[in-house]
A and B are shown apart, each in its own frame.
Chain A
Amino acid sequence: MFDLDLLTTGFGILLAPKMLFLVVLAVALGTLFGALPGVSATMAVTLGIPFTYSMTPVQSIVFLVAIYCASITGGGMTAILFKIPGVPSSAPTTYDGYPMAQRGEAGKALGIQLISSAIGGLFAALAMLLLCGPLTTAAVSFGPAELFAIAFLGLSILTSLDTDNICRTIISGLIGLLLACVGLDPLLGVPRLTFGFRSLNSGFEMIPIMIGFFAVTEVLKQTVKRTQLSAVGEVKQMKTVFPSFKELWLVRWVMARCSILGTVIGILPGAGATIAAFMCYSAEQKLSRHPEKFGTGCIEGIVAPEASNNAATGGSMVPLLSLGIPGGNAAAIMMSALVLKGVQMGPMLLVKQPEFLSATFASMFFANIVMVLAAIILAKIFVQVLRIPYSTLGPMIIMMATIGAFATKNIGEDVITMAVAGLIGFVIISCKFDISAMILGLVLGKICESNIRRAYIISPGETLWETTCNVFTEPLKIAPVPLTAILVTVCFLVLVSPGLKKLWDKRKAARS
């Protein structure tokens, strides 16, 4: 799958004047959205959706990927200058970025952040290009049972992420899966759980719901408790200063380790940039010869989270493009945007339309370079933009969200769906349920159901129990192992491991 023609196609798509302009716009928008506290990377991608309605599917993914990459980098700027992470994955950047800025080295901290982000992003883009091909080749030979198990693995990993809230996360995921059942049955075509409402026959419209959950809910949260910005030093005088080659050479291994680890974490369904950033920061602190310097404004403390969170963006695209399974919220939104355009997600996507992979790679490659240039040129403007009061910014976000929801089908009902989803999202968060789990459930629900039911049809048995045994124990054609059973066992272990760990810790505490 990997050949020079693919790259030529990718850069060919990207270098068309309109596309080039759109990517530059996406980088500028993404950096700006990411830098704004209260606008997460997911929300940035959500707000980018209205821009994609007039684009082709390939152009859409190029645009959204550029926004995603740039927003992760933009978040680091606010983390350094204001000690408020623009996106959650920039939280560890505040530990060393802000102390460095307090020492009067804000420009240098920004320079290190930009270079680390770009290197992490470029590495992940290359890894994505190399990994997607073999993974797709393997996935093409997967049967429905294996595809169900992979989709389910995404959900089970998610439940182990919020270990303090396992039960509520499971409930959220299950509600998402159940909501995906509403509408015409995928195999029989009969209305299911529609309660007689014809408008529910086509199921819930994903885009308005996602926009409601990620954009409107956030503005409502900010209405109750706003994030206040207070800059360190005189930001008007701030100028990006790039680190010397010697300084970069000293952190080369930190950058390499975090880029690799970030990409791997990004590939795992459910795990994303935030986990990558925290894990890499913690790992580098443990590996460092001077761990006491972490938290005081050391370069490694900025390099580790920034290289890894950008690397995770490329990683999260691997399961999306090769398996049709979103690695996280942002990927789920990209998937919904593509599905809306009639793109059939799944392993066959790259077989039939390999330009999706090459264009995504070209977009990530280009975005990570443009991002550095844009940040240098626009840094001062961004700092001024951050001074826009939330009383202007909040309603503007809602109006952009409204445009996005309405443009889905050009009907007012979608705007109402968005608003209701926003309100429900707020209640869900207030009751400590997990919106991300619900969205992943909603996105993966149809994939899970149609695959498991097709698996039951093609693995005949006399009774339901016998068929179930056949589905889970039949070896895969390409390998003499029952992959479904192995994956489902892994799912089960992942699901119960946080509970077992808690029990273990309790016993340990009781003994000591």
Chain B
Amino acid sequence: MAIELIVNVLLMVGSVFCYWYVGATMPTSPESEMGAEQWPQLLLVLLIIAIGFNLYNYFKSNKKEDIAAAFADFFPSVFRFVKSKLFIGMFMLMLMAVLYEPLGFITTCLLFMIGYGLLLGARRLVPLILSSAVIMVILYVGFSVFLGIMLPRGWVPFLRSFALFVESLFGR
């Protein structure tokens, strides 16, 4: 409940700022034409009205005590969220996205498959590692060898050498 209100308020503030920003940064348009700033400004005005209505609905459908209780529980719930599977999953996802190019496809895929598999409740490590390796090979062969899609080799020297070695096995 608290996050919903926060998101709406942030959207409102962002919309007002963007309305001012786009007006200030775009060249002045001719009087009879729709200029570069007017279309986004029109959308922003509608957006501000819609968010205002949504906020009105929010306060109408939620009791004051409930909102206050949601905000009192906000920081504890943030801590709970940080400890949750979802947050760990989100963190792993971002980490994978950032490391995808530096570590290359082979390493990132293998590590992510094992890590996320454990997060999703896989208990037996050996079958998980084996299935992750098999899927990694299927994806690599399917996309890189058969479809000719470029997969990152990695920037780390020995990982890059290994990727080049794998590519040489498939005659690429």
Contact = CB atoms under 8 A, between A and B. Distances in A.
Is B one of A's binding partners? yes
Interface string A383-398: 0000001111011101
Interface string B21-49: 11001110001111011011001101100
B96 to A, nearest CB: 7
A223 B120 contact: yes
Interface in B114-170: 115-122, 128, 131-132, 135-136, 139, 143, 147-152
A453 B109 CA distance: 46
B112 A398 contact: yes
A449 interface: yes
Contacts of B139: 396, 399-400, 403
Contacts of B40: 178, 181, 192-193
Contacts of B119: 223
Contacts of A193: 18, 21-22, 40
Question: Looking at chain B's contact residues, is the secondary structure mostly helix, strand, loop, or mixed?
Answer: helix
Contacts of B32: 456, 460-464, 466-467
Contact of B116 (A224, A398, A412, A418): A398
A391 B122 contact: yes
Contact of A171 (B18, B54, B109): B54
Given A190-B27, A223-B85, A396 B113 contact: yes
A446 to B, nearest CB: 11
Nearest to A399: B109
A224 to B, nearest CB: 5
A231 interface: no
A467 B30 CA distance: 12
B147 A399 contact: no
Interface string A436-471: 000000000000010011001100111110110000
A423 B117 CA distance: 19
A138 interface: no
A359 interface: no
B164 to A, nearest CB: 17
A391 B152 contact: no
Contacts of B36: 185, 187-188, 190, 192
B78 interface: no
B7 A192 contact: no
A119 B139 CA distance: 34
Contact of B25 (A167, A192, A399, A407): A192
Given A170-B50, A188-B36, A403-B143, A391 B94 contact: no
A452 to B, nearest CB: 6
A167 B151 contact: no
A415 B27 CA distance: 34
A502 interface: no
Interface in B71-104: 85-86, 89-90, 93-94, 96-98, 100-102
Nearest to A51: B147
B57 interface: yes
Nearest to A395: B116
| Interface-central residue, B3, B4, B93, B105, by most chain A CB under 10 Å | B93
Contacts of B101: 406, 411-412, 415
Interface string A99-138: 0000000000000000000000000000000000000000
A187 B30 CA distance: 13
Contact of B93 (A185, A226, A419): A419
A427 interface: yes
Nearest to B123: A391
A415 B103 CA distance: 13
B36 to A, nearest CB: 4
Nearest to A468: B34
Q: Kindly list the 7 A-B residue pairs having the minimum CB-CB distance in the complex, ordered from nearest.
A: A412-B101, A419-B97, A391-B120, A391-B122, A395-B116, A185-B36, A391-B117
17 contacts: A50-B149, A171-B50, A390-B120, A391-B118, A391-B121, A391-B128, A395-B117, A398-B112, A399-B136, A403-B143, A406-B152, A419-B96, A423-B94, A449-B39, A461-B32, A466-B32, A467-B33
Given A392-B135, A394-B120, A431-B3, 19 more contacts: A54-B149, A171-B11, A171-B54, A175-B11, A178-B18, A195-B21, A223-B86, A223-B120, A224-B86, A394-B116, A399-B112, A406-B152, A412-B102, A415-B101, A416-B94, A419-B93, A420-B97, A423-B90, A456-B34
